[in-house]
Amino acid sequence: AENTALWCGAAVTMAWLGGARGRTAAAAGLTAVAVAQLVSNGLCKQVTDRSRPPKEWIPHDEVEDRPDSSSFPSGHTAAAVAFTAAVAPSWPRAGALCAVPATLVAVERVQSGAHYPSDVAAGTAIGLAGAWLSRRAPRLLLRLWT
């Protein structure tokens, strides 16, 4: 899920194999990822300065590979949840398939010592909000302008 490569790959596959429904789902998913990344990494991480979990809590060697940025919120989780939640209304089966790696991303962020569980919970909330906003914003803007 590094640099949203997993979700970009999923979007390409959906667009290629899913016809019009796949293209709609892929576009919704990528838009939601962009919104979630903007909020989590572009805003929240810049205004919070939460350190990563203590190294002593992590019983494996991956602890040295953690990022230096703020721990709060989990941008990986925000992107994973945003993509999955935005895809599901257009293509429920693809959304269900995406839920598996999205869940694994969230669990891995805590297991690897990169985040506290609350960071992942906040990333989940941001992802859900990003999916909601990316799917509703066009209609909301049209209402404002008409």
- Give pLDDT tens digits for 1-34: 577 899 999 999 999 999 999 999 999 999 999 9
The Cα–Cα gap between 66 and 82 comes to 23
**Do residues 29 and 10 lie in contact, with contact meaning Cβ atoms separated by under 8 Å?**
yes
The pLDDT of residue 43: 95
Q: If you count them, how many residues does the chain have?
A: 146
pLDDT of 61 strictly over 70: no
* Token pair listed for 105: 């991303």
* Token pair listed for 61: 């060697």
pTM comes to: 0.89
* Token pair listed for 46: 């810049």
The pLDDT of residue 57: 77
